[in-house]
Structure 1
Amino acid sequence: MLSSSLYESVFNSSTIGNALLSPTPEATILAVNDAFLKGSSRRREELIGVSVFKAFPGNPDDREDTGEMALRNSLVRVLETRKPDSLPAQRYPIRIALPDGEENYEERFWSAVNTPVFDQDGEIVCISHTATDVTEQERAVTALRESEKRFRALTNAAADVVYRMNPDWTQLHQLQGHGFLKDTVEPDHSWLEEYIPPEDQELVKKGMHKAIRDRTIYELEHRVRRVDGTYGWALSRAVPMFDAAGEIYEWIGAASDITERKQVEEKLKDANRHKDEFLAMLAHELRNPLAPIGAAAELLQMASVDEARVRQTSQIIGRQVSHMSHLIDDLLDVSRVTRGLVTLEKAPLDIRHILMDAVEQVTPLIRARGHHLALHLPPNTTMVTGDKKRLVQVIANLLNNAAKYTQEHGNIELRADVQASRVLIAVIDNGIGMAPEVAARAFDLFSQAERTSDRASGGLGLGLALVKSLVELHGGTVTCESRGIGKGSRFMVCLPLSSVRGDRDRPHETDSDNQLMSNSLRVMVVDDNVDAAAMLAMLLEASGHQVVVEHRPGRALERARKAPPQIFLLDIGLPDMDGNALAQRLRAQPETAHSVLVAITGYGQERDREKAFAAGFDHHLVKPIDTKELYKILAKINKA
């Protein structure tokens, strides 16, 4: 065994600073060697018998000084585990005396090991605390880290990738990726597979073989695999380096990141393609109505054309001219909106009136295709600020779009929901739907969705672009989504609510209309078209009237006897019994003999009007009905 004097000699002569600490929470310093005194710049009499935490306190003004806490935790671990515990490169500033007598803290880093020392009974008698000053090493590491950080920032800011190739391009000697490509510092034989996507490898091979053969500059645009694993585009140029014998000993190259430029080029190509498709579509759409117009003109030149044929021919011409007018209106509208030439005539509006007017516009198309339209309106007045004509146009375009791309007898839903400071208007259909890439560009100009390969639904694909522009002019947004082909579509318009009170928005402002709003009428709507009847009923209910709806003439007669309405709105083309016959029955039964009867019909010729009046009708309105005319009729009834 070592004698105590020999142990003390070894302890004091060690070049590693060492202090013996008591195994207590205070960790009193029992002994220190010369190396410890030199490293801490202290005298032995200052330390012996003093807690190590008092002798070397933490700096209360230094938030990053965690050295004292780390040492305390380490000593606790030694006592609990009875095993040595290491503290590598721990920041522990120490207090030093300045020449002027003041004290300050000097930043130091220590690599320490705390080791339990046992007596012959296995009890811990002290803890050996060895501490090596590693401040200079840590500062060197920090300086190197900062240097590398600055270098990386510099290389990332550089525009071009720099690389070196061997003479036959089989080995990449070095590549500085500058944040665009992965750096290579060792020779790489598999660079082609590592940096170039498979579809561009043959192109790159041809380029480099030509440069080697011609002993000239290599220059090529190609795709590359970027640092993050995605693909980008690079313009690569490399020049051959010749030795004294005129042989190529190396290629020095630089590559520029042209990904953004290529993306812009692709967008321009797409825009040009969409423009060409649009022009072809426009020609197709204009030729369609021109064909029947031309045929009609030839027919009218024939001497043997009778009156019925002339009438039929003129109707065909009228419809086709109307169709062409709509196409031209769409073109002009989009042109004006995109050039900022549209001026909105904004006013406080009840969104319910906007939706009902839009439904009224598209009702003929919806009826023609046998769609079921579900309409969900807010129960209370919901005010927005906008141009009534343009907002009606937005919703009508969306409904028209849904009707065109929904198979016959399909379902369309129009709903408005109020959320905090906005109103959400949704047009939902169970039609043919869209692929994700089509939905993403649904509102782009010149982008009629290729949802029907034969374009049987017609149109120029401008309606949705116009919708987006008009909604944004109103400070709103519009989105489109579809779960895929055959799974329908959803268009969502979001408009900010107006702070104006609802009583400032009246859709009809004449004295008679104000009288109408204050007096409720009992109304019965009879129409076998469920959607049309529901829409008309909601329109009347929104004006304060009590409305009942029936779809069968027999049920209408029975219900009218029990609770006679003041006014009937009757469709003419009813099943089992047409509207004229129903009117005669209503006039014949005492309960409804004096009720007001209004014909709501698609038959608008003079003989149709005469037949209706002969059957007992008081008024005759042609679908789609003029709501202002209907309001006038109701107002007169209120005054009677």
Structure 2
Amino acid sequence: MESLGRSSTSRCECEYASLAVESTAGTDAYEQDFSMAQLANNLHNGNSSSVADETGTLFHSAGGSIQACDRVAEQLLGYSTQQLVEMTIADFMGRMICPNGSAIAPDDFPAIVALQSGQPCRNVLGFQKPTGERVWICFNATPLFQSNASTPDAVVTTFSPVANAASLLPITDRPVIDRSEQRFRQLADSLPHIVFAARPDGSITYVNRFAQEYTGLGDELLNQGWAECIYPDDRDRALATWMQAVHSGEAYEMECRFRKADGTYRWLLSRGLPVRDGDGQIVEWVGGCVDIDDRKQAEQALQASEERYRAFVQQSSEGIWCFEVAPISIDYPEDEQIQHFYQHGYLFECNQVMAQMYGVCAPEDLIGVRLADLLVPSDPRNLEYLRAFIRSNYRLVDAESYELDQQGNPKIFVNNLIGIIEDGKLVRAWGSQRDITDRKQAEAALQQSEERYRYLVETIPQLVWTANANGVLIDINQRWSDFTGLTLAQAQTEGWEAIVHPDDIATLNHKWEVAQQEGYYRAEGRIRRADGAYCWHLHEAIPLREQGEVVKWFGTATDIEAQKQLEQQRQALLEREQAAREQAETANRIKDEFLAVLSHELRSPLNPILGWSKLLQQGKLDATKTANALAAIERNAQLQSQLISDLLDISRILRGKLNLEAMPVDLGAVILAALETVHLAIEAKSVQIQTTLPPTVVTVNGDAGRLQQIVWNLLSNAVKFTPSGGQITVELQQLDYFAQIRVIDTGKGISPHFLPHVFEYFRQEDSSTTRKFGGLGLGLAIARQIVEMHGGQISAENRGEGQGAIFTVQLPLAPASSRSPSSASTSTATDDLTGIRILVVDDETDSREFVAFALEQAGAIVTAAASGAEALHQIDRSPLDLIVSDVGMPDMNGYVLLQQVRESKLAKQVPAIAVTAYAGEFDRQQAIAAGFQKHISKPVDPEVLIEVVRSLIQ
């Protein structure tokens, strides 16, 4: 059995122990705290981190009994944990034998030896398993200590099977194992460093387990193989140092870089000692190598840091200094410390820049100068500077000091400093400083300039601003803020576009881009006032440059709102004048065109009327020609009458005097009546009429006469533009809530450019002297107005060039409760006025004789009067049944005549009819108000006159 604690060590062991202690300096001690309960628990649960696949572990208490074991121990020994724990140490040892077959003594069991000696112990013993099988096991016992304990409190025994006991016996003729060598190797393998042994000639004979793991090599390290692991640049030096030690027989120490298993090189500290026999002869070398790479890197970093520091101090653009001070407690009052600084503080170190700041050539000329000779004690700002240094725990950043250079010139420095405290006392201060004297003087001058500038910008009437090179606001005057209602922060956040009128942003942006090239900004634009209103301003700005580069823009905004309003008023006045002139010119042109057309349209019917009248007076026409002549005269007279009616209707519409007599109206009857009116024109052009009417009555609320006028206008228009042999379709439909009339023709159609104007007054697609179709261009305009007065709408669409047009009228249906339609009359009056006594009053002979003749033809007894006075005379002479009177007469008009008639006894109740050329709605209402029962406009249709007379008499 081998026990390092019980056997006396050889000289080699002592030498190596000394080397190992030196090599492990700074590492953890071998002894360490441990938890028995935790260790026992780990072993019991198989969690021991020290157990290999074929290595069992036993945990012994201070008395030697087994407290725990792992699963491998159970397998190797054949007993369960419970059985092993219940065994006494004597029972456990009773199952063992020594390699020579004898029973073991307590000194043979490694755990007992380790507990007694406090040293690790190893031995090979035989153990008898419960099955009777004997196994040979190598036991290794390691004592465990609590902190600061001198005796072990427990032992951990690791063990593994060996092939047989003979494998552990010494070489031939060596009956006992070389325990010294075993102890040496056991100690060497336990260290976390490289350990080696060599012959006297320097050939390596042994390396420990750590060396093999560190390099990843085994026997390759023996003899001179270790040299291959040394960094090439260090190899020759390392070999020379080793061989010099071998030749001199003296211990050595060297540093070199050594290759690890991963191929990296690390610095090692290698030490070697010679082992001598009793005669002083070297019998062996032992040594070790400790990894010092981290230390070397730290030393190199420190060296580099020192070099950088020196380079920084010498090359820095700032003054670097160190003031030494006689140590003073930091607990002293501030004023005492400050007084001490001034009396016992002096410059200990500085760089060249620092020396130049104080007007000397070299740092040596400044070192040793007292603080009081540099930092002016009488300046209260310096007292505050030192107080701030103390109050900030002796650390100060960007603090200003007011000093004197060696020529007595005032200087201003900005300092960064830190005090060094040792044992509660301030001993020195390190710091840096920059000379800001020129900057401070410039700032003072700038401040004066800024004050003058601020006074200027706050007194001028403009809005003043400054912006950086990119146009971002950096300053505004109070007038700018008051006008916009924004602070500088708000303006910077929202941007200048927030106050510019949206319509002006593009212009101002473009002007700004131009200004970047031209170096001057000028633009007009509206900016928003605080109350939300926009006002015109003239914006001007110039760039401020430094070294040729624009650094900011200085600009103003001048209020030009009043000027702009005058310009706008002038412009508006000019535009109104131009528009009025254009309107007048257009109106004059339209008027001229209208008058030309009107003259043409009025004169054209007069030509056949006058011509045929002359021929009839000559009496040379036969019966056929006479009938043709009379038909032509009637046709053209009706045409003139319709022209006059259209003009009067337009006049009423434009003055808002066109009234409707609304009642339920059957639209089918209205269409038939309108067709009856134009049937002669239709027949004359051989145009086919196709009428589509619903089987039920379609009723609307409206004026039957005006509705018939709408249809008649559309039909007349269709007949006019439809060529001979063409077709006109009239449709009536009752839709959901309205009635729809469509007039479709196969004429020339409506050109696209004229279609939007087809319902405008006095508009004709062709108003030239070469036009094919006559008319004043009023019919469709009148139709549109009447339709809209009925709450409906009218539209036109083109079917295509030469394919005709479609006119659509939509009218709201009458409520179901009021649908009792009255039809448009298509019947003619009968000539049954026999015996009716009628007085006809008119100052125009032709008109008076025409009316009298028409009434006489119907059987009436007619008395004619040429004036109002004559009419009153006739009334007094004979009784009357009816009065038919003109209104516009000289001396006494029709209104005055009727007033006097109503005052007489004989004709007070006699009905009266006003027959006049005053055909307006107002004229009709005025006639009714004056006492007339009916109003008939000239020219008078005999049939209409007779029908009206009959209605009054009946």
Question: Which range, TM-score by smaller chain?
Answer: 0.3 to 0.5
TM-score if structure 1 supplies the norm length? 0.40
Indicate the structure whose relative CO is greater, using CA pairs within 8 Å and at least 6 residues apart.
1
TM-score if structure 2 supplies the norm length? 0.28
